[in-house]
Amino acid sequence: MERKLLLTVSVILNLVFTFHILYKNSTTWNPTWTSRAAIEAEDAASVSCSGHGRAYVDGIGVLGGKQPPCECNNCYTGKDCSILLSDCPVNANSGDPLFLEPFWMRQAESSAALVSGWHRMSYIYQDGTFVSEALETVIRKLHSVVGNAVTDNRFVIFGSGSTQLLAAAVHALSLTNSSSLPSRLLASVPYYAMYKEQAEFFDSVHLKFEGDAFAWKNSERNDNTTQVIEVVTSPNNPDGKLKRAVLEGPNVKTIHDYAYYWPYFSPITVPADEDLSLFSLSKTTGHAGSRFGWGLVKDKTVYEKMKRYITLSSMGVSRTTQLHVLQLLNVVVRDGGDNIFHFGHETLKKRWETLNKVISMSTRFSLQKIKPEYCNYFKKVRDFSPSYAWVKCERPEDANCYEIFRTAKITGRDGKVFGSEESFVRLSLIRSQDDFDHLIDMLKKLVFQEGVEAHSI
Binding residues among 35-64 for its own copies as defined by CB under 8 A: 35-42, 44-45, 54, 56-63
Closer to its own copies by Cβ: residue 79 or 444: 79
Q: Which lies closer to its own copies via its Cβ, residue 308 or residue 349?
A: 308
What phi and psi, each to the nearest 5 degrees, are found at residue 348?
A: -70, -35
SS3 294: strand
Among residues 447, 402, 450, which one has the least CA distance to residue 423?
A: 402
Nearer to its own copies by Cβ, of 117 and 250: the residue is: 117
Closest CA to 302 of 229, 249, 370: 229
Least Å distance, CB 111 to its own copies, is 3
- Is the distance from CB of 272 to CB of 294 less than 8 angstroms? no
Q: Which stretch binds its own copies (CB under 8 A): 219-227, 271-279, 294-302, 328-336?
A: 328-336
Residue 7, interface with its own copies (CB under 8 A)? Answer: yes
CB of 82 to its own copies, least distance (A): 17
457 belongs to the binding site for its own copies (CB under 8 A): no
The nearest distance, CB 56 to its own copies, in angstroms, is 6
Would you count residue 164 as binding its own copies (CB under 8 A)?
A: yes
Single residue of 148, 151, 160, 236 touching its own copies by CB under 8 A? 160
Cβ pair 292, 327 in contact under 8 A: no
The interface region with its own copies, picked from 13-21, 239-247, 259-267, 438-446 by CB under 8 A, is 13-21
Q: Which span sits near its own copies by CB under 8 A: 17-25, 183-191, 211-219, 266-274?
A: 17-25
Task: Give the amino acid at 186.
Answer: L
Q: Which is nearer to its own copies, 6 or 85 (CB)?
A: 6
Pairing of strands 228-233, 207-212: unpaired
User: Does 2 engage in binding with its own copies (CB under 8 A)?
Assistant: no
Q: How many residues bind its own copies (CB under 8 A)?
A: 114
Residue from the set 226, 313, 339, 354 that interacts with its own copies by CB under 8 A: 313
Residue 13, interface with its own copies (CB under 8 A)?
Answer: yes
Contact by Cβ (8 Å): 355, 362: no
Query: CB of 239 within 8 A of CB of 368?
Result: yes
Among 48, 67, 110, 407, binds its own copies (CB under 8 A): 110
Positive or negative, the CA dihedral 179, 183, 184, 186 is: positive
Is 252 within 8 Å of 228 (Cβ atoms)?
yes
Asked if residue 140 binds its own copies (CB under 8 A), the reply is no
**What is the β-pairing status of strands 155-159 and 293-297?**
antiparallel
The C-alpha atoms of residue 446 and residue 183 are separated, in whole angstroms, by 45
CB of 316 to its own copies, least distance (A): 7
Integer Cα distance of 78 and 66 in angstroms: 17
Nearest to 237 by CA among 400, 406, 354, 94: 94
Residue ranges in 120-139 that form contacts with its own copies under rule CB under 8 A: 120-124, 126, 132-135, 137-138
Q: Would you give the DSSP letter of residue 226? A: S
115 vs 454, beta carbon nearer its own copies = 115
Site stretch for its own copies (CB under 8 A), options 32-40, 213-221, 231-239, 256-264: 32-40
**Beta carbons of 246 and 230 less than 8 angstroms apart:** yes
Q: Does 79 bind its own copies (CB under 8 A)?
A: no
Stretch that binds its own copies, among 81-89, 193-201, 338-346, 366-374 (CB under 8 A): 193-201
The interface mask with its own copies, positions 282-311, x = CB under 8 A, is: x---xxxxxxx---------------xx--
Q: Which of 203, 346, 353, 437 binds its own copies (CB under 8 A)?
A: 203
Q: Build a one-symbol-per-residue string for 382-421: x at contacts with its own copies by CB under 8 A, - elsewhere.
A: ----------------------------------------
Whether the CB-CB separation of 345 and 378 falls below 8 Å is answered with yes
* CB-based contact 70:80 (threshold 8 Å): yes
Q: Where are the beta strands (DSSP E) in 340-423?
A: 365-366, 373-375, 380-382, 388-393, 410-411, 413-414
- What is the H or E stretch that residue 53 is in? strand 53-55
Segment interacting with its own copies (CB under 8 A) among 116-124, 269-277, 362-370, 391-399: 116-124
Q: Does 331 bind its own copies (CB under 8 A)?
A: yes
